[in-house]
Structure 1
């Protein structure tokens, strides 16, 4: 039987930036050598051989034959629990080997082939699969280009052995209705290029935005649904939080309100939340839409009302004695770091619920977003928006969880016939991720891609690219990893 002393301990493997060889020794691995491909052949009756139709690069399996050695069965079980947590990612993650430190495989753990087990020793083969079969240079190639250097186009050199997907970050210095990235054979476009007959316009015009202070907020004139107004709200690290929930037999906590400085029949209202709890904690954040009398005409809600700690999201509109929840469901994540918004244009109401995450660069981006709609055919919910309210609540004597408002904003919604909407302005950054086939505006999904545009790759060697409208672009940052087989 193989023992710990028989195996070298210098070979290391990292998965998702964690060294997994702290748990085992590597006997052998496979899948990183000469890589095959699939051949599609057409056979023709009566003719020898066949015709080559196409070749295809399949997914890449990587298998690691491992030997685990610990003091006893108890320690082995605990270490395997820890390793299970590391291996079970939801998406492909970087897989790096110490004999190939300048290359990254993007792999997801698939299954395990178990061998023998004896006391604290255990043999198994870990099976990974790389949906993207290529490996990548560990260090990114980065290019930074200001408006002057963009005038005549830029040239990017892909030094890898295969075409590779880039990421473009385009930061604006002026308003645009479209953005183009054009190569020799491909192009990417978002928005619409206006003609001489078109009039560009801003669809949304912000009229109010919260600031990280309680200045301008007053005690609410409304009573929070199903509870009472009590306690104190303040700002901590830029978030609105409850420092005192008061007491009550149902929902109770502070509630404040502030005028938006306008009275809007059509509007857009977005609120950023951070809501979560541990088992048994109950908590809620409710952002109210208020009429000219300071009474609710709707609300956006993230709450935990069950001991199982599931976050729920709600969007409500109301008028007089009529009320409807056209979003009322359990959220798919255990915590809600995200936003809820509502847009009203005439009889049409549209709401979005979005989960956000913090990226490697420390910036917040939207990872998932869902839309919901309601048509007010009978004109039952047509009161104007004049103010907004915030309420943070606890329930009875239950300990509240995390309940924070990260900010809020209100905009007018403009409609213009024979016009072309501006998609961005000074300071906005559009990110074109050609590997993930996604477009972001300031970290927010913005998939308004032109029908004929496509996510392209940088060809091996030199690539010439043109960005338009150049005069409205402040600078462009390009990132990619050279690709190898």
Structure 2
């Protein structure tokens, strides 16, 4: 018996035989050299694994076989790899998909077929993930005992407790290092200091809104009030006020502790409809000290015929500025049910924007990044002095059900680093992830390949005892892995 795609076999299907090889296909790597007897041996490479199952479809009558076969095809077919479990070993799984032909031979009210499963990764892995949590207090390695019969590649999460220029995970012969090279002769400097950090457990310190973009000049209205629901800024009572022809809703401003020439504004927001006819927007405005708009970053659903939000980033004012991002993403609906990051920044004359959904594991998906150079220097001289948050509805249309601003941070950029200083790469509270399975590193869910030391090597955990050391020992560490068998 088998399970596939986390589903048991349909009641009308019986597995009569399962065929699999003791080992996956093995290719010997050799090289013939002229004038030398024999060949040079360069080891072996393991190929894919194939598993075949002889299955019988049992129908209610002779006319029902084709109907049952069609139902069974839905159970079998996936475009992506799915877990395949042979129930003789219910604690192990292969990642597989159906492959090749599935011809069926029909006899009265039964149909016989051969199911061919392709496993690109030839190893079986444990269904349950093992987790080792520890907090290092010094440079003593933590010991991790791995079962199975072959090495496994871990995913390691680190919650940083102190600002640091670098982090390194070290085994007895390999390491993965992120960040700047530290030097005892140099002092650490924060070259991207945090100027504003809003977790929105409270909405205190915000003044009235200055102004919001409208469909026509001067007709959009700031109405209703914003408050905190304990973790996010929302429209009080979902009362966005009234405006029959244009955008309307709450807005609030906060003045920064200092004006910024080069900056990055990052916010976690949510825009989630319960009906495709709902419209709404979540926006962050940038103002100078004279209340002139420097730019804006937003996610806007302005369609009543589908849940098709657009992501937007603009340098300058509504009618004279430049929208260097205004897109649905890869397709309409990419940013539906949005719960993620919207970001805008400026350094010199270069503006940049970044958007991403955040999945259930905290990783950034459906990412979009774009830069724009202000060739005429129209929007790059004035300094950022104020931030305005806004959620809005349009006309008499039903507003998007959930519109939230859950987090907002403003950083100063382009702080000069001298030859006697080293920049801080990771700050207290950052979540740093080293994914050895996919050879990817993340900071707070965002890939950070530029911080990866070129000498790094993504390492496996070997069968048996493994020593793992964190340098410096300033993070809570969680090591996740699945044991594997050949």
Greater shift after overlay, 255-264 or 183-192?
Answer: 255-264
**TM-score normalised over the length of structure 2:** 0.83
> Residue 401 and residue 64 in structure 1: after superposition, are their counterparts in 2 closer, same or farther (change >3 A)?
farther
Decide which structure has greater strand share: 1
Query: Who is 1:412 aligned against?
Result: 412
Match of 2:232 among 235, 239, 256: 239
TM-superposed CA distance for 1:469, in Å, is 1.8
Cα deviation code 1:160-182 (max 9, x no counterpart):
22121122233333222111222
Could you tell me whether the CA contact under 8 Å between 1:160 and 1:483 is conserved in 2?
yes
Change (3 A) 1:308 1:63: farther
Match of 2:286 among 270, 289, 292: 289
Aligned-partner SS, 1:113? coil
1:298 is the counterpart of 2:258: no
Contact 2:31 2:40 in 1 (8 A): yes
Any stretches of 5+ residues in structure 1 without a counterpart? 1-10
Tell me the equivalent position of 2:96.
107
Task: Spell out, residue by residue over 1:225-283, the C-alpha distance to the aligned partner (whole angstroms, 9 max, x if none).
Answer: 32622445454463334412344444423131221333222221012222244444333
1:479 aligns with 480
Q: After superposition, what is the alpha-carbon deviation per residue over 1:159-210, rounded to whole angstroms, capped at 9, x for unaligned?
A: 3221211222333332221112222221110012222443311132222233
Instruction: Indicate the SS of the match to 1:83.
Output: helix
1:340 corresponds to: 342
Q: Distance in 2 between matches of 1:78 and 1:334?
A: 34
Say whether the 8 Å CA contact 1:276–1:334 is kept in structure 2.
no
* Partners of 2:230 and 2:73 in 1: CA distance: 36
Q: CA shift at 1:63, angstroms?
A: 4.2
Aligned residue in 2 for 1:88: 78
Shift of the 209–196 alpha-carbon distance from structure 1 to 2, 3 Å rule, reads: closer
1:228 aligns with 2:216: no
Cα deviation digits, residues 38-82 of structure 1 (max 9, x gap): 233445678887554442111233444444557668985995586
Q: How does 1:204-223 map to 2 (within 5 A)?
A: 204-210=192-198, 211-223=200-212
SS of alignment partner, residue 15 of structure 2: strand
Residues 124/280 of structure 1: CA separation in 2 closer, same or farther (3 Å cut): farther
CA distance in 2 between partners of 1:250 and 1:123 (Å): 65
Mapped to 2, the partners of 1:481 and 1:219 lie a distance apart of 53
Q: Give the Cα separation in 1 of the matches to 2:11 and 2:288.
A: 61
Indicate the residue corresponding to 2:148 in structure 1: 160
**RMSD, aligned α-carbons:** 3.3
**For residues 452 and 174 of structure 2, what CA distance do their matches in structure 1 show?**
14
Partners of 2:197 and 2:410 within 8 A in 1: yes
- 3-state SS of 2:379 partner: coil
Instruction: Give the whole-Å Cα distance in 2 for the aligned partners of 1:119 and 1:232.
Output: 72
> Structure 2: which 5+ residue stretches go unaligned?
none
Residues 226, 252 of structure 2: 8 Å contact kept? no
CA distance in 2, matches of 1:158, 1:424: 30
Is 1:57–1:133's contact at 8 Å kept on the other side of the alignment? Answer: yes
**Which deviations, in whole Å up to 9, do the C-alpha atoms of 1:409-434 show, x marking residues without a partner?**
21222512333221223343322111
Distance in 1 separating the partners of 2:339 and 2:454: 32
Q: Any idea what the Cα deviations from partners look like across 1:15-39, whole Å, max 9, x if unmatched?
A: 2x44455674334344464322123
Match of 1:182 in 2: 170
TM-score by length of 1: 0.83
